[in-house]
Chains A and B, each alone.
Chain A
Amino acid sequence: MEAWVHLAVAILLPAFFGALVAVIFPARWRNAPWVTAVITSGLAFAASVAGLVYTASRGEVRYYLGGWEPPMGIELVMDPLSAFFCAVVTGMAFFVFIHGKTVVPRETPGKEAAFYSTALLLVGGLLGIVLTGDLFNLYVFLEISSLAGYALVAIGDRRAPFSAFRYLILGTIGASFYLLGVAFIAMETGSFNMGDVARVVPALGDSAPATVGLILIVFGIGLKMALFPMHGWLSDAYTYATSTSTAIIAPIGTKVAAYVLLRGCFYMFDPDFVREGIPLTTIIGYLGAVGIIWGSVLAIAQSDLKRMLAFSSVSQVGYIALGVGLASPLGMIGAVLHTLNHAVMKACLFLVNTNILSRFGHTDIRRFDRTFRIRMPWTMAAFTLAAISMIGLPPTAGFFSKWYLVLGSWENANYVFLGVILVSSLLNVVYFFRVLEKIYLRTDGEPYDEKNEREDAAVEREESPASMLFPTVFLAASLLVLGLANAFIVTYFIRPMIPSGL
């Protein structure tokens, strides 16, 4: 029992440790920062999975940093919810780092150490947000991850610094609102500790300052999560950053914000109060619903693959918000499962995007053609599978998170949500099949003939190197596994995390 307590800190430390170590190697050890990043994120991933299995069966683990007990000290709390999010964050980081072996030296030559160090700081900050049991400490980790995130976004093409600056301004506003909210809650409850807050808030009854505090937190975090209509920063930030930066930020950055949303609405406060008293979750849900449609429509309008994927992220985050909005066990299952599924899908898709960019030098969908399939068959197969999962067709993972959300919508008799989920799936079909047609088919209106056959036979296969191909294909294949294993995940990992009041 005693040894397991250290799991919480074992998840957190490797990332920060790696961030420090990555910069100390001599410059001629070119691969050392990459190796550091892969090993440390791999260790954190292993610790997270161990923590997930442990907490799912035996409940939460508390770790007092420096031996100081709360409310004086800061505690790390690893419960099924936080362990799950840690596993998602570290797992995605691990695979994206593996993928970066040849990409990062090409995209940021000579600055590999700085890149990996910053990326590990981002991961460490996100893990800290998920693990900490202290509201103010969460703000500190939020800033760590955000600052690292701004830096990562700023490395990119000429437009990247501007989009990073915009992200910085908006992100700081969001963080400030969060901090303001924390101040309200701390004033009212007398503690920064989430556990204490959760115990005190029900006793306060209808407390205006605590309610305002929660609303401010939700507003600030909603900005970080790119919840409609606060998603403006996301598309440019994702599009102009280097492809590995985007691949590391996109799958996990907004998810952790979703975690804070879940933690605040369902664990710190009484779910009934949040649902009925101030219809906060309902508002979040409807904003998510609008975001789903809006993001999909804008994704259809894009001609650049990376930008299309960025808008699709806005839409997919909406699903998570919609699950929160249902404020029911089924909604929560859908939201949490979709966090995992979408992280894997989006990581896979951004890795595909990187593979395409490295091989062809552009990601302009209008210039895609059927030689893509012949030159990179495995990458394109991964794209196809991930696209099918994004659309939400069984038996890929994407279907099942939607299934729970649909069940939850029926249960709440919320036909608007139901309609949104169905319509958005069709919109996803539009923007993904548009790309698939380009990749696989002759698209100039004439039938495929002998001449095409000869042309195609002359095209050589130029698949990405193994370090890029393995994570891409592995993530794509895991979409099938996650789809088939979803009942297992729900029963063993998600059910135990559902708070009693929900």
Chain B
Amino acid sequence: MPLTETYSSSLPFWAVAVSLLAVPAILWSARKPNLREFWTLLAAAIKFGLVLALLPGAKEGRVAEFVLLEIAEGIELSLRADAFGMFFALIASGLWILTSFYSIGYMRGHHEKKQTRYFASFAVSLSATIGIAFSGNLLTFIIFYELLTLATYPLVIHSENREAIRAGRQYLAYALTAGLLMVAGAAWIYGTTGTLDFTPGGILEEGMLSAGGMRILFFMLMIGVGVKGGIMPLHSWLPNAMVAPTPVSALLHAVAVVKSGVFGVVRMAGFVFGPDVMAAYDLNTILAVFAGFTIIVASVIALRQENLKRRLAYSTVAHLSYIAMGAALLNSEGFTGGMLHISTHATMKITLFFCAGAIIVHAHKENVSDLDGLGRAMPWTFAAFTIGAMGLTGVPPVNGFLSKWFLCLGSIEAGQWLVLGVFLVSGLLNAAYLFPVVYRGFFRSSDKFRKLGEASPFMVVPLCATAVLSVVFCLFPNLFFGLFDLATAAVEGIMKAS
């Protein structure tokens, strides 16, 4: 076992609950928008504070645990703030603050309807995301996972037009089917091993199931988490869900929801199956094939998307599979790269979505070909977009380089030259679908936007903040709460145990 000690603390519980508790307050102040948004911001700040309070312990390898009650016979509803969970919780709760500010600017600037429902659902989604991060066992994970599905449904159908309702149905069909497969898989594991507690190095051991059984179980769980993680061929709900308001796309469809999916992939690989079982039954090869396929194909599809948000959505699909690929490499560089990519992709993609949203609200443009010359009118927005694009491509001063570096190291370490090739080719594809936007914005001239200024500061400040964050995070990976150390600590836990 790795050198971790557990201590009992209710902090993880409150970190999950605080935004849930804000929901009644948000609903109650439906008629007073300023007060309502105050609750959102307050909950976001407290949540981030609570997560931060857990950080020193997690860095020293001490895991805060909270058992609420026995949720099913023999299984507890337990929250554990281990290094890996902390890593994800920190990113989600930190970016929630920025997104809250941005949401206020976006929703008001766009005169969106039903804002109360929107902010309430958003708060529940965040509770569910932190719950997923801190889940101590598979059943708790599933409970929060299903809650996340239900909480994000109202956000997807927000505009209530035909397109949105169709996207909502598709989302439910995908996500609930996935949830059911996970329930079935969890029951199988519980029946076989008698426990569902996430254990570094895996719950399952070689020989517990037949090779065929192990692979079926792997598919059940990976489809379960892979749907939210957008692994092809389970991705098609994600681009369609882009009918949601842009802050939703930004935080949920680039950070919280989809990252919960890939977070789940890494949890399953590292804490349920474990590297040994993965290797013994070639499960990592299966995962790598699907992830590699997704990276390339989604990038190619992104090239052909005219709608900016859809282009970014396919880019998200591709980048999520980077993380899954990192887990499939089964070495510490791979895991580190995958985990880092959770955070680096989060800051970069949220920047890009913030930019896309600002363009929609301010210039009312959604298509790439309409953006000629807009960069001169909205220089800050397009500068931030450029930084995000550089990061996704993997150009050094931006943090995307960092995670990609580790992923490449991991593939070399594993001797997987094909995987290395996938990463390199995908970098080129990233450049091919993102830089045309930058080029059109800055270098194509057009008179359309001459009188248009920069978007509202509520939106510009957060998007610049995330862009700056992306750069600083590359130069000083440990500056922010020792994120890098946290990632390496979590990986050590997985590798040592196996």
Contacts and interface: CB of A to CB of B under 8 A. Distances in A.
Nearest to A446: B161
A2 interface: no
Interface residues of A, number: 40
Contact of A406 (B73, B114, B143, B184): B184
A422 B150 CA distance: 18
B72 to A, nearest CB: 6
Nearest to B71: A487
B176 A429 contact: yes
Contacts, number: 94
A448 B159 contact: yes
B113 A449 contact: yes
A437 interface: yes
Contact of B191 (A411, A447, A452, A491): A411
B150 A447 contact: no
A429 B139 CA distance: 21
A406 B159 CA distance: 37
A487 B142 contact: no
Interface in B153-199: 157, 159-162, 164-165, 169, 172-173, 176-177, 179-181, 183-184, 187-188, 190-191
B69 interface: yes
B169 A433 contact: yes
Contacts of A446: 161-162
Nearest to B143: A394
Contacts of B114: 448
B146 interface: yes
A347 to B, nearest CB: 23
A445 B162 contact: yes
Contacts of A491: 70, 73
B187 A407 contact: yes
Contact of B72 (A388, A400, A429, A441): A400
Contact of B187 (A393, A403, A488): A403
A393 B139 CA distance: 12
Given A394-B142, A437-B165, A453-B113, A333 B73 contact: yes
Given A403-B72, A429-B176, A447 B160 contact: yes
Interface in A445-498: 445-450, 452-453, 484-488, 490-491
B472 interface: no
A441 B157 contact: yes
A453 B70 CA distance: 44
Interface of A: 333, 388, 391, 393-395, 400, 402-404, 406-407, 409-411, 418, 422, 425-426, 429, 433, 437, 441-443, 445-450, 452-453, 484-488, 490-491
Interface of B: 69-75, 77, 113-114, 139, 142-143, 146-147, 150, 157, 159-162, 164-165, 169, 172-173, 176-177, 179-181, 183-184, 187-188, 190-191
22 contacts: A333-B73, A388-B150, A391-B176, A393-B176, A394-B146, A395-B147, A403-B72, A403-B139, A404-B72, A422-B184, A429-B172, A441-B165, A445-B161, A448-B159, A448-B160, A453-B113, A484-B71, A487-B69, A487-B70, A487-B75, A490-B72, A491-B70
Given A418-B184, A491-B73, 15 more contacts: A333-B73, A395-B147, A402-B183, A403-B139, A406-B183, A426-B177, A429-B172, A441-B157, A441-B165, A447-B160, A448-B159, A453-B113, A485-B69, A487-B69, A490-B73
